[in-house]
Amino acid sequence: MSDQKRPDPEKFQDPLENYEPREYSDELERALAEEPVTSIHTQPFISISEDTPVHAALETLAGRDIASTLVVDQQERLVGIFSDRDALDKVALEYDAVKDKPVSEVMTANPIHVHEDESSAAALCVMAAAGYRHVPVVAADEKVIGMVSPQRVVEFLLEHLDGDD
């Protein structure tokens, strides 16, 4: 067995000795940077299968009084999102022609989403920069595990804002 040189403990230099943790201007900035997106309330969420008829998808939105529902395949992986905006753009004036078609034909396919280990700032970025109100959250296997909405972001902001409640 060859001799292995071991580092001299007295000469050991901690590579992190000059590390200075980032300073944030306030608690909200820290939370946006460091808290995972799952720290925003991402549950509950509604999902429907991609072959759900359009009229049933619309009834799901209306019955639950929600603005959007996630659309998944048979393996529960995200394939789209069907929202009030899709109903406005592709269903409202063409209802009789599309009501029995699968929701996959009118949904927003492959929506921008975030992964569960991304920061909460990532969800806000999708909303602010990409302009999407609802942001699906997926696990590493691409299965849907939640959804971030503006109301939930507001709750998150209020939890971390510095100020009087």
Partner 1 sequence: MGLYENMLSEPIRQLALREAITIPAELSVRDAVQGMREKKLGCVIVVDEGNKPLGMFTEAMLRRLLIDNRTALDDSVQNHMARQFPCAAIAEPVVTILEAMQAENHRFVCVVDEKGQVAGLTGQKGLMEYVADHFPQIVLTQRAGVEPPRGQREGA
Edge-to-edge strand order for the sheet containing 114-115?
Answer: 114-115, 135-138, 144-148
Q: Could you give phi then psi for residue 161, rounded to 5 degrees?
A: -70, 145
Q: Does 50 bind partner 1 (CB under 8 A)?
A: no
Query: Is 101 one of the binding residues for partner 1 (CB under 8 A)?
Result: no
- Residue of 84, 102, 139, 145 that binds partner 1 (CB under 8 A): 84
- φ and ψ at residue 77, rounded to 5 degrees: -90, 145
Identify the DSSP state of 11: T
**119: amino acid identity, one letter:** S
Stretch binding partner 1 (CB under 8 A), from 8-16, 44-52, 73-81, 90-98? 90-98
- Which among 107, 103, 157, 106 has a CA at the least distance from the CA of 127? 157
Q: Which helix (H) or strand (E) holds 54?
A: helix 54-64
87 binds partner 1 (CB under 8 A): yes
Taking each helix axis from N to C end, the angle separating 27-34 and 150-160, rounded to the nearest 10 degrees, works out to 130
CB nearer partner 1, residue 61 or residue 79: 61
Size of residue set near partner 1 by CB under 8 A = 46
Binding residues for partner 1 restricted to 115-134, rule: CB under 8 A:
115, 118-119, 121-122, 124-131, 133
Cα–Cα distance list, 56 to 48, 63, 118, 126, 159 (Å): 10, 10, 33, 28, 36
Q: Does 145 bind partner 1 (CB under 8 A)?
A: no
Instruction: Give me the 4-43 binding string for partner 1, x by CB under 8 A, dash otherwise.
Output: ---------------------xx-xx--xx----------
What is the binding site for partner 1 (CB under 8 A)?
Answer: 25-26, 28-29, 32-33, 58-59, 61-62, 67, 84-85, 87-89, 91-93, 95, 112, 114-115, 118-119, 121-122, 124-131, 133, 150-151, 153-155, 157-158, 161-163
